[in-house]
Amino acid sequence: MMLKRAMFRCGQLCSRVFAVEFDLRTEPLYFTLSSTPQELHQAHQQLFGGDEKLFSLHVHSDSRTEKARTHAEIKHKLSVALSRDCDVFEASAFIPDVKNSVVKGFFIRDKSTTSLSEDVLKTLQQSKSVCVFSYKREGQYCWQELWSPVNQVEESVRQYVTPAAAAERHPSTLNITSSDVYYCMNDAYEVLRECTDIIPESKEVLKLVNEQLETSRGDAFPVIVIEGLDATGKTTLTEALRESLNATLLKSPPQCLAPFRQRFDSEPPLIRRAFYALGNYITAAHIGKESLRAPVIVDRYWHSTAAYAIATAVGGRVENLPKPGSELYQWPEDLLQPNLVLLLTVSPEERLRRLRDRGQDKTVEEAELEINQLFRLKVEEAYKRIQNPACIIVDASPSPREVLQQVEHLIRNKCHLKTTSSLPDETRSHAISPHTTRW
């Protein structure tokens, strides 16, 4: 039964292009499978040409939540259970330019002479969602076959590794919609609804969404979002703006979701990003209400949700990001738009200094960001590519006072507002009215 299922999965994969993130600084290695022997290119020789043991495994399931969780579990197991003699690379099997065609997995290169990797794969293969292949060599050729720890899989035919041209779109960009980034509330809502059995907190989050959603936005005061990586000065600036504009300060995710955040941060992207996406809709409802009374400053919003999600989903280099203008950078049609989005930027050195000076707990992701220069670059680049509204970049390296003045100036120009921080305290209230704005 298990073998039959594996054979079926194998058949589904064979017509796809495989990509292995062999070296994150360059393009993935792409190959297809062919029934006739094919000579390997020099680049492919680096992976397939040695005498190490090679395996790949792919995760299938009709349930997207099960697939996402199994993939995350496998990633964790491979990182803790394999020996130091094993290299694990992210891998995928996909149909070029076909959305949602990616089957994610891993490629394993085992330089050891022990059977540890086989033992680990044997336990992973117990899962009905996992399909394992091994790679064998003969002369200059390398073929892939379905792997079984017990007996030779007789029906499995040799499928020769055949170098393939680079894909125009990096495969990791094919599955982003509704797996990493949600372009309407319902898509994110559905994911959490599918999780209510395995993550009971999902019910509470959905209840909060149902209770708080109501978007009203009439002749409103302006809404200004402040974005940026951790420690770029968002909290410092948003609090100063609250005072100088006599504004309401909101954040996304909203305070009511704080008790659940850690729980969802430990989930794979499919679920974690759905949580943050729903947070934006709750914040949007708060913005709708509050902007009837005063200007609203928002600390992180959709730009953060999309930029972090895209940067995490896309492996390797900045060049792998979806190209500028891609539909993946579009704002969701059903999410309230702010009037202005400002992106605070500082040099990596200054940001590290601020992080160290602050010396407080960082989310795991932010800790990784610190050591992972590539990821940081991708988040910033994704921020800059988001459209409608796009963000305006603010150099946040000067003193807090200078940054505030710079931002007040921008708000005055872009929102046709009067800000009054340079005025004496007693004249400082209600300088902004909905009627002085253009929207």
Ligand X SMILES: Nc1ccn([C@H]2C[C@H](O)[C@@H](COP(=O)(O)OP(=O)(O)O)O2)c(=O)n1
The pair of structure tokens assigned to 382 is: 């994704």
Residue 341 CB, shortest distance to ligand X, in Å, is 12
Among 52, 239, 350, 366, binds ligand X (CB under 6 A): 366
Q: Does 357 bind ligand ADP (CB under 6 A)?
A: yes
Indicate the pairing of strand 248-251 with strand 86-94. unpaired
Instruction: Compose the 210-229 pattern: x for residues touching ligand ADP by CB under 6 A, - for all others.
Output: ------------------x-
Beta bridge partners of 284: none
In the complex with ligand X, which residue's Cβ is closer, 23 or 239?
A: 239
Among 202, 252, 337, 345, binds ligand X (CB under 6 A): 252
Query: Does the CA dihedral 397-402-408-414 come out positive or negative?
Result: negative
Picked from ligand X, ligand ADP, none, the partner binding residue 363 (CB below 5 to 8 A depending on kind) is ligand X
Instruction: Compose the 308-347 pattern: x for residues touching ligand ADP by CB under 6 A, - for all others.
Output: ----------------------------------------
Residue 366 CB, shortest distance to ligand X, in Å, is 4
Among 234, 272, 378, 385, binds ligand ADP (CB under 6 A): 234
Q: Does 349 bind ligand ADP (CB under 6 A)?
A: no
Residue 122 CB, shortest distance to ligand X, in Å, is 35
Of 282-311, which residues contact ligand X (CB under 6 A)? 300-301, 304-305, 308
In the complex with ligand X, which residue's Cβ is closer, 28 or 233?
A: 233
Among 354, 365, 374, 434, binds ligand X (CB under 6 A): 365
Q: Does 416 bind ligand ADP (CB under 6 A)?
A: no
The residue with tokens 């809502």 is 189
In the complex with ligand X, which residue's Cβ is closer, 104 or 272?
A: 272
Residue ranges in contact with ligand X by CB under 6 A: 230, 234, 252-253, 276, 279-280, 300-301, 304-305, 308, 363, 365-366
